[in-house]
Amino acid sequence: MINVTKTYLPPLEEYQNYLKKIWDSAWLTNRGELVKELEQKLTSFLGVPNLLFVNNGTIALQIAIKALDLKGEIITTPFSYVATTSSIVWEGCEPIFVDIEKNTLCIDADLIENAITEKTTGILATHVYGIPCDVEKIEKIAQKHNLKVIYDAAHCFGVKYKGQSLLNYGDISTLSFHATKLFHTGEGGGIVANNKEVFDKLFYMHNFGHNGPEDFFGVGINGKSSELHAAMGLSILPYIQQIVAKRKEISLLYDELLLKNTSLRCPKLPKQIEYNYPYYPILFDSEEKLLDVQKRLNDNNIFPRRYFYPSLNTLKYTKSFSCPVSENISTRVLCLPLYYDLDLSDVEKIGKLIIL
């Protein structure tokens, strides 16, 4: 069976070395030494001013919305994983959907300003498949209208844009370290903030609002992660460059097999990007062709996924918005298997099955 992804696991003995430290200290959670070590190493590796390790990428979004005190309407993308939208709703705000750009599949920055009302307090955009949004244009709009910007950067581990980490744009960027991601901690997530005051607020909020053992900064939630999860991240981090290199090799082979002499296409990467190859999305001419290929692959024990379907503006618990590009793209995009130990011969088999 070939699934859309397969979790990378580090050498067992290296993970066990960290477990030995945990057993020796008997400190499993509540910001132990391994959590702090992981935060420090990730801050350095990613080239960001700070990073808070939390228990998943969804809580990262929810804490970000709360920390920036966003109310009312938040402009967002309909083409993302459901957590981007559900976090807005969960925090009592209203998602206002703006359609996506057809080449990058990220939010169309040219449409944002027309969606701003007196109730708008922020923009929550996703760097889809690790592809940067138009961060310069979004920043200008946010400054003009005094809006906060959160980037759902769940796919962006290690991505650089114009020579710096993509995570350095916006007020806050959030990461997912779920087991399906190229860097993971089993379950986990991260939050990066450019402003120290905001980061301090995020820190308090992820630990019940504690300001010392017997004082409270304000309202908070339990967003902490454990030493066991940090140990997984510390074990995987030394292998990230070779993981990305292998994923690039597989992606380039898919390009060779699928993009020449066919009508298939992939989202467009902007210039000046150092990419991490988190997914391999392919766009078909129609949903009918996608479903035909998906069935053919499934019949051969190959299981791609429809990331992202359906378009989030069609969710029953949100206000209805017309987003024709997103609605169309979501019916035609399929993410192919991509993971570290996927054999190149299997990639060739997948390519041949697709273009039959």
Residue 88 to residue 147: CA distance in whole angstroms? 15
Residue 13 to residue 16: CA distance in whole angstroms? 5
Shared domain check, 117 and 151: yes
Domain C-terminal end among 210, 238, 266: 238
- CATH code of residue 19: 3.40.640.10
Of all residues in the chain, the percent with pLDDT exceeding 70 is: 100
Tally of domains within the chain = 2
Domain C-terminal end among 209, 238, 267: 238
Count the Cβ atoms, other than its own, within 10 Å of residue 218.
10
| Amino acid 261: pLDDT | 85
- DSSP result, 193-218: ESSHHHHHHHHHHTBTTBSSTT-BSS
Shared domain check, 67 and 203: yes
Shared domain check, 233 and 308: no
Shared domain check, 72 and 143: yes
Q: Is the pTM of this model over 0.85?
A: yes
Which domain covers residue 293, as residue numbers?
239-354
| Amino acid 218: pLDDT | 87
Contact 58, 175 (CB under 8 A): no
| Amino acid 213: pLDDT | 78
The list of the chain residues with pLDDT below 70 reads: none
Domain C-terminal end among 221, 238, 255: 238
Shared domain check, 100 and 66: yes
Residue 6 to residue 337: CA distance in whole angstroms? 9
Contact 176, 57 (CB under 8 A): yes
Shared domain check, 245 and 233: no
Residue 208 to residue 303: CA distance in whole angstroms? 40
Nearest to 276 by CA among 167, 142, 115: 167
| Amino acid 328: pLDDT | 98
Q: What is the pLDDT of residues 32-70, one digit of tens each?
A: 999 999 999 999 999 999 999 999 999 999 999 999 999
Shared domain check, 243 and 199: no
Q: What is the pLDDT of residues 166-183, one digit of tens each?
A: 999 999 999 999 999 999
- CATH code of residue 314: 3.90.1150.10
Shared domain check, 175 and 287: no
Residue 111 to residue 241: CA distance in whole angstroms? 36
